[in-house]
Amino acid sequence: MEQEKNNKKMFVVGLVIICLIIVIGLSMTLINKRQTNQANQQNNTNNQINADEQYQVKPVRPIDETDHLWGDKNAVVQLIIYDDFECPFCAEFYDTLEKVKAEFGDKVAIAYRHYPLAMHPNAMAAAAASECAAEQGQFWEMYSKLFAENKFGRMSPEQFKADAKDLGLDQVKFSQCLDTEKYKDKILEQMLEGTNAGVTGTPTIFANNQIYPGAYPFDDFIARDGRSEKGVKSIISELLK
């Protein structure tokens, strides 16, 4: 009888110990899970902060000696153009810039930067062609040639080489420059700079650091939603006041 009582006591004690082990195990699991969730939440917060910092729009790079510049670098109005030689809207904006040059002269500085879009198969080669022409001192001459080819639908590396010949450039030097993609890194770097500054398409204009996306016409115009919008002439005129 006494032995039976002892066995029951041992059973109860063992059962209590097992229950305690289970409770402690569950508690540790819950604590670990809570700590893991807190760590994940902190990581997510840190990742979001890093993402916000990474994609935060930065000020556009000021005009410097690496830019192809028309006009006086110290002009009152600084225009920075992110452009694509194969973009039809950029070809329209080419005409607007010609009017700007004629109207404002040395009051305006115009810097051209590359932003060839992936949807345009010859845009990268056209950008490279302009850089290869710049090696021989004829960036702006090739710039005009390329937009003329754009309007006529004659965009190809072979045509760019023909344009170089028309401009009297050294054919061997130009072709070697174009075929080896010598300026690809420079073009991609300008694209990254543009993206960081808020460029999403072409043309995009910065007038004294203020961004104007799209092919703004020279004169004031009515937007699709019926609002009156300032053209490039008015934008520049206000900056000159």
Mean predicted lDDT score pLDDT of the chain: 86
Distance of CA 10 to the CA centre of its chain: 75
Mind listing the pLDDT tens digit for each residue in 188-239? 999 999 999 999 999 999 999 999 999 999 999 999 999 999 999 999 999 9
The pLDDT tens digits along the chain (241 residues) read 555 555 555 554 455 456 556 645 555 554 455 555 554 554 443 444 344 444 468 999 999 999 999 999 999 999 999 999 999 999 999 999 999 999 999 999 999 999 999 999 999 999 999 999 999 999 999 999 999 999 999 999 999 999 999 999 999 999 999 999 999 999 999 999 999 999 999 999 999 999 999 999 999 999 999 999 999 999 999 999 9
Q: How many C-alpha atoms does 196 have within 13 Å on its Cβ side?
A: 12
For the 68-239 domain, the top CATH level (class) is alpha beta
Pairing of strands 108-114, 228-229: unpaired
Strand boundaries in the chain, DSSP class E:
68-70, 77-83, 108-114, 204-207, 210-213, 221-222, 228-229
pTM of the model: 0.77
Q: Where are the domains of the chain?
A: 1-56, 68-239
